[in-house]
Each structure stands twice: as C-alpha cells, then as structure tokens.
Structure 1
Amino acid sequence: MGASLNEIKQRIASTKKTSQITKAMQMVSAAKLTKSEAASKNFQEYAAKIRSIVTHLVASQLSDLEELNDDSDLNGYHAMLATRLVKKTGYIVITSDKGLVGGYNSSILKQTMSMLQNDHDHQNEYVLITIGGVGADFFKTRGYDIAYELRGLTDQPSFDEVRKIVSTATSMYSSEVFDELYVCYNHHINSLTSQFRVEKMLPISDLDPDEDAAYEQEYILEPSEEAILDHLLPQYAESLIYGAIIDAKTAEHAAGMTAMKTATDNAKTIINDLTISYNRARQGAITQEITEIVAGAAALE
C-alpha cells in the first residue's frame, strides 16, 4: 500500500507541474491574442480606405466587366480585374508552424483536402502555396507538390515578413501560372470560435461599383490611371492576402489559448481525482494498521 501511495503522490506532483506550464502558456497566448486583435482592427481601417480608393478608380471598368463573359475580349481591362478561363487554380493554405493549438490545424487541412478532392480531378489542376510548417509537412507527406512555402512567421507578422510569398503569389497570377487564387484559413470570430474560410483573392471580384457613389469629387491622376492601377491593384491584392494572414494568426492564438485552458482544467480534474484516491488509499492503510494493532493486542491477552 505504501508504494501505491508514493506512486499517487508522484502523479499528483507531475500533474501539478504540467498544469503550471499549461496555465503559463494560456496566459502567453491570451497576451498574443490581444495584440493580434488590435493589429487586425488597425488593418481593417487601412483595408477599408484602400478599397474605397481602388473602387473609385476602377468603377467604370467594373461596370463594363459585369456585362462580359469569359470568352469576351478583355483588352483594355486590367488583368487583375478580368475573369479569364480557369485552366489552373492557386491555393494559399495558412496553418501554424507547430501544434498545441487544439483542432486549429486539423480543421483547416481536413476541409481543404475535402475541397480539393471535390473540385478537382487531378493535382495538375491546382497549385499549392503554404504558410506554416504543419500544412507544408502535411501536403509533402502525402505526395503533393508545393510551389512555394513560408515557415517561421512571428506571432505578430509584419508585411515585410510575408512580402515575398505574397508578391510571388500575385506574380504567378500575372504570369498565368494559375488563373484564380484562393486563400484557405481559419477566420477569427472570438476567443472561443473560428470558422474555416476560402476567400477568392484574384481576380479581384469583391469590389462593387455602386460604392463609388460616395465620392463627390474626382481625383487628379498623375501620371495616368493605367500607370497608377498597375501599382495599386497588385498592392491591393497583396493587402487582402496579408489581411487573411493576420486574421489566421489571430485565430491561431485564440485556439492556443483555448487549448491550454482546456489542458489546465483537465489537469485540475486529474489532480482532484488523484487526491481522492490518495486519501482513500491512506485511510485504508491507517485502518489496516489499526486493525493489526488491535489484533496483536488481543492475541497477547
């Protein structure tokens, strides 16, 4: 019985140490989440402004493109606005670089795989770009080719960190490596909830020409509208991708915080159960000792 008591005590001690670690990790993730939510809010203000500017500049093209189909002559319309015949699709899949984030990665990868299998007959119909080591390793293990990957993003990624992969994606679209681009990631709703999203980034199709009605004055453009759009539209597309990365990072921190809270709560439950078992075992040992003493005293009478 003594060995059993020592074993229970060791399990209680080790579980307490584990709960201290998970509690600390929960607090770290909570701090990261607060910073990410603030960064996401600031980005939304920037995104709204650049969207309004772009919408105003391309309003006439957007109105004309609504009346065209894939077989129409697209000359005179910017390539990032015009929908062309889709021969190959590009996907940016955003995951974390490591685990300890609950079902965050499995949710993204499971639903992405389901989408690829349902929408395509063969791997040569799409191009994969991955952000995060978990996703890259997942696809490589299963024999998928990855056109470009990015690992080791910081907890609060700056645009300079993702500039290369973002500009590479837009360049691949411009070079017709693929004809449309989607980003697959978990959208942050709140600290307990995230939602898998597949958002179309290219061609730019989420602009509404009716939003241009808010402008009462025209811009004075220098050197020309075409030259400005050649720089502004890729920048807008890159900002959309960057916004998805920030959103995904926020969801990752929320998932990490929730996972560590669950682990801490589970550790407390285990400690309580082990403490009850220890007390019962100790009580049983004491009772047995008393019984043996009483029996010995009775034998001497």
Structure 2
Amino acid sequence: MATLKDIRVRIKGVKSTQQVTKAMKMVAAAKLRRAQDRAVMARPYAGKLKEMLGSLSAKVDTSRNPLLSGRPEVNKVLVILITSDRGLCGAFNTNIIKLAYKTIHEDYADVHRKGGVSMICAGTRGLEFFRKRDYNILKGYPAVFQNLDFSIAKEIADTASGMYLRGEVDRVIVVYNEFKSVLAPNLKAEELLPIAPVSAGKESSSDYIYEPSPSAIIDVLVPRHLNTQVWRMLLESNAAEHAARMAAMDSATENAKDLLRSLNISYNRARQAAITTELSEIVAGADALSS
C-alpha cells in the first residue's frame, strides 16, 4: 500500500503535468487560429484554380500537356506524405501513417510488390516511420513546419512534376490531413498527377473567352496549380495538427483532474487510517498503564 509520502509525491507530479498540458493547450489554440486563417484563405484560390484548369482541360487536347494526360498503365507511384514534426497530438500522425500504409499496400499492392512505390515525406514523424522500415524515400523534409514557406511546396511540386514528365512515375498521390474541425480532421489520399479534366456535368456554366488560347493558358496554370495545391495541403495539415494537439492536451488536462481527485481521496483515506491507528495505540497504552 502506498504511504502518505508516496501519494504526496504523485499528487505533486500530476499537478506539474497538468500545468504543462494546460499551457500546451493554450499555445496550440493560439497557433491554431493563425494556421486556420492561412488554410481558409488558401482554399478559394486553390479551388478556383483547380476548377478553371479542369474546365480548360476539357476543352483542349490534353495530350499536348503530359501532366494532363494519364498513363494507360500504372507501374510506378509517388506517394507524398504530410505528417507533423512533433508528437503529443493524439492519433494525428498514427491515423495518417495508417492511411499512407493502406494506400501503398492495398490500393497499389501490385506496384509495391514490384518495388515501384517511392515516397516524399514532409514532416519528421512520417519520415522516421517509413525510413526505419526501408521504404524508398526520395526526399525528406524534417522540421518542415517550424518554418513553413511556399518555397517548400514549390520544391515538392517541381520534384513530382519533373518525375512525372520524365516517366519515372505514372501517378502522384498526396496523403494528408485536411482541416475540418477541431474534433474531426479529414484524412485524404488525393491524386495530384495526372490532373483530371472536369466532366461535362461538372463543368462551369459560365461562357468564358480565353486569350490568347485555352492551351496557352493551361501551360501557365499547370505549374501554378501544382504549387498552390501542395501549399494548401501543407497549410491544411498544419492547422489540423494544432487542432489535434489542442484536443489532446485538453483531454490530458481533464484526465489529470480526475487523477488528482482519486489521489486526494486515497490520501485522505490513508491519513484517516494512520490517525485511527495512532489513536488505537494511545488508547491501548493508556489501558495498559491503568491496569
């Protein structure tokens, strides 16, 4: 049975941990607000650019631009995985790594068995996981979210598009957390390349006049579209990470409260038992002297 001193030490330790988790929750909440604003502001531009490019690609011969034309067979796949740099964010990294693992071993099982899957890992957690298991990691970006910059998104997009143009990969998939709400991140495995045209039923009803021509505009929009989409995915994942960390630290703080309540009850019971034992000894001693 734990002594009074042992229980006091545990209570002190839990209180210290509770202060840390409460502070981390407040820091994550402050960072979440900024990250959420950046992600939300990037969505309209990225979405409209994707819509315009898809609409244009439905009007022209996509074979003129290799990034718009799919391959008849998929023999090589590039998976871009976006995770966080740090832990203490609940199941945020575990869930997205599971989705990446499922994408590789189920969706592209035949390609993986032939050694045709390569990876680009943005974020320390995913990079460490797949590197330890000897996956073909072409590039790693550890600590990417400590100084998140558009140039990183451009570098990733340029690498992916360059490999696709050279025929080194037939498909590019991005696995990331899309920010939906604090309690419900949206796990996504999104196809980045080839860029799929919009079907006739989804095409915009507006009648645009394109100058100089749709094909010329597509050549300009494609690299900008890829850069913007990767940048949006990084921002979404960053916001989702802070939301997950805030929720995890809030849960840890509440658990610490419950643990403190239980420890205080145990402490009081132990103290009462010690007092009762001392009183019994005093009474027994007094009876012995009187007799």
Which of the numbers 112, 126, 135 marks the counterpart of 2:117? 126
Following the alignment from structure 1 to structure 2, what is the Cα–Cα distance between the partners of residues 220 and 227?
8
User: Is 2:135 the counterpart of 1:144?
Assistant: yes
One-letter amino acid of the structure 2 residue matched with residue 130 of structure 1: C
Structure 1 residues 182, 289: CA separation in 2 closer, same or farther (over 3 Å shift)?
same
The answer for unaligned runs of 5 or more in structure 1 is 66-73
Give the secondary structure class of the aligned counterpart of 1:190.
coil
User: Is 2:278 the counterpart of 1:299?
Assistant: no
Following the alignment from structure 1 to structure 2, what is the Cα–Cα distance between the partners of residues 146 and 6?
52
The answer for unaligned runs of 5 or more in structure 2 is none
**Contact 2:127–2:140 under 8 Å retained in 1:** yes
Equivalent residues, number: 286
Instruction: Report the counterpart of residue 67 of structure 2 in structure 1.
Output: 80
Shift of the alpha carbon at 1:101? 1.2
Instruction: Report the counterpart of residue 261 of structure 2 in structure 1.
Output: 272
User: Is 2:91 the counterpart of 1:103?
Assistant: yes
Shift of the alpha carbon at 1:227? 4.3
Instruction: Report the counterpart of residue 13 of structure 1 in structure 2.
Output: 12
**Contact 2:92–2:244 under 8 Å retained in 1:** yes
Following the alignment from structure 1 to structure 2, what is the Cα–Cα distance between the partners of residues 227 and 299?
108
Q: Deviations over 1:141-175 (max 9, x none)?
A: 11112011112123673312332222212221122
One-letter amino acid of the structure 1 residue matched with residue 122 of structure 2: I
Once the two structures are superposed, the pairs formed by residues 101-250 of structure 1 within 5 Å of their partners are 101-118=89-106, 119-121=108-110, 122=113, 124-154=115-145, 157-205=148-196, 207-208=198-199, 213-221=204-212, 225-250=214-239
Following the alignment from structure 1 to structure 2, what is the Cα–Cα distance between the partners of residues 228 and 158?
26
**Contact 2:55–2:198 under 8 Å retained in 1:** no
Q: TM-score, normalised by structure 1?
A: 0.87
Range moving further from structure 2, 128-137 or 204-213: 204-213
Following the alignment from structure 1 to structure 2, what is the Cα–Cα distance between the partners of residues 104 and 56?
35
Structure 1 residues 137, 46: CA separation in 2 closer, same or farther (over 3 Å shift)?
same
**Contact 1:90–1:129 under 8 Å retained in 2:** yes
Following the alignment from structure 1 to structure 2, what is the Cα–Cα distance between the partners of residues 247 and 207?
24
Structure 1 residues 297, 213: CA separation in 2 closer, same or farther (over 3 Å shift)?
closer
Following the alignment from structure 2 to structure 1, what is the Cα–Cα distance between the partners of residues 116 and 142?
25
**Contact 2:8–2:267 under 8 Å retained in 1:** yes
Structure 1 residues 110, 154: CA separation in 2 closer, same or farther (over 3 Å shift)?
closer
Q: Deviations over 1:38-95 (max 9, x none)?
A: 111101121133234424543312xx66xxxxxxxx3xx3111111132211110111
One-letter amino acid of the structure 2 residue matched with residue 22 of structure 1: T
Instruction: Report the counterpart of residue 21 of structure 2 in structure 1.
Output: 22
Shift of the alpha carbon at 1:230? 2.3
**Contact 1:149–1:165 under 8 Å retained in 2:** no
One-letter amino acid of the structure 2 residue matched with residue 287 of structure 1: T
**Contact 2:77–2:117 under 8 Å retained in 1:** yes
Give the secondary structure class of the aligned counterpart of 1:189.
coil
Give the secondary structure class of the aligned counterpart of 1:250.
helix
Following the alignment from structure 2 to structure 1, what is the Cα–Cα distance between the partners of residues 244 and 211?
47
Q: TM-score, normalised by structure 2?
A: 0.90
* Percent of aligned positions that are identical: 37
User: Is 2:258 the counterpart of 1:259?
Assistant: no
